[in-house]
Structures are given as structure tokens and as C-alpha cells.
Amino acid sequence: MGDVLAYVGAAVVLGWGVAHAIPVRTVLAGFNLTDLDNRRILTMEWLAEALTLVLLGVLSVIITAFGDGSTVGLVQCVVAAGLLAMAVLHLLLGARTAIRPMQICPAVLTISAGLLLTAGLI
């Protein structure tokens, strides 16, 4: 049962990371940036978060599939803690915006973290 929870949690965070990367142009257009440096920085940060989410999802899948014993649970709990930290950051900053995906991001990250944490503790 723990493996199923881990795979579902990993799939959610991995999918959210991919979905995060898709609307980069739309997000940039919404900020109406004229300075090229600001545009590059926002693009870099937006894609860095998407990449982080994808890598955490992939790490969770790999450790669940190929890890041994207590290492699996430890890594799943560490990934869950990282997701919870990101959820708090989004809750404090991103959820206060009018952008709907930013408002639901804390819930998505918390759900993924809960699944991974449960899997890691089983």
C-alpha cells in the first residue's frame, strides 16, 4: 500500500511540475515586463520551480522502485518536507495573487506531501 501512495504522490507532484512549465509565456505576458533582465529572471525562476517539482517526483519514483528498506521511507519523508516547505511559501505569497493555479498550488503540494509522508511512514 505504501508504494501505491508513493507513486500517486510522485505522479501528482511530477504532473504539477510539468503543468507549471507549460504556461510560461502566458505568465510572462501577464506581468507586462519591458526590461529583458526582469523577463529572464522571472522565466528562470518559474522554470526552476517546475524543474524542482519534476525532479522531486522523479526522485520519489526512483527511490520507491529501487530503494532499500529504511532509505525509501527516509527519502520519501525528506521529499514530503520539501514539498511542505514549498506549500507554505506558496500559501504566504502565491496564494494571495489573483492567479488561480497559484491559489491551488499549496493544496496540490500538501496533498502530494501527505501521500509521500504516509508512504514513508508505513
pLDDT digits (tens, 9 = 90+) for 41-86: 989 999 999 999 999 999 999 999 999 988 999 999 999 999 999 9
18 vs 25: CA distance, rounded Å: 14
Neighbours of 92 (CB within 10 A): 10
**CA-to-CA separations, 38 to 77, 88, 99, in angstroms, rounded:** 35, 25, 19
**pTM given for the model:** 0.90
| Domain, as residue range, for 117 | 2-21+49-121
pLDDT score recorded for residue 67: 94
pLDDT score recorded for residue 31: 81
pLDDT score recorded for residue 54: 97
Average pLDDT over the chain, rounded to whole?
Answer: 92
Task: Examine residue 16 and state whether it is found in any structural domain, yes or no.
Answer: yes
Task: Examine residue 109 and state whether it is found in any structural domain, yes or no.
Answer: yes
Task: Examine residue 69 and state whether it is found in any structural domain, yes or no.
Answer: yes
Q: How far apart are the first and last CA of the chain?
A: 8
Neighbours of 86 (CB within 10 A): 22
Task: Examine residue 87 and state whether it is found in any structural domain, yes or no.
Answer: yes
Task: Examine residue 55 and state whether it is found in any structural domain, yes or no.
Answer: yes
Neighbours of 35 (CB within 10 A): 8
Task: Examine residue 105 and state whether it is found in any structural domain, yes or no.
Answer: yes
In the DSSP assignment, the letter for residue 99 is -
Task: Examine residue 41 and state whether it is found in any structural domain, yes or no.
Answer: no
Task: Examine residue 37 and state whether it is found in any structural domain, yes or no.
Answer: no
Please count the structural domains in the chain: 1
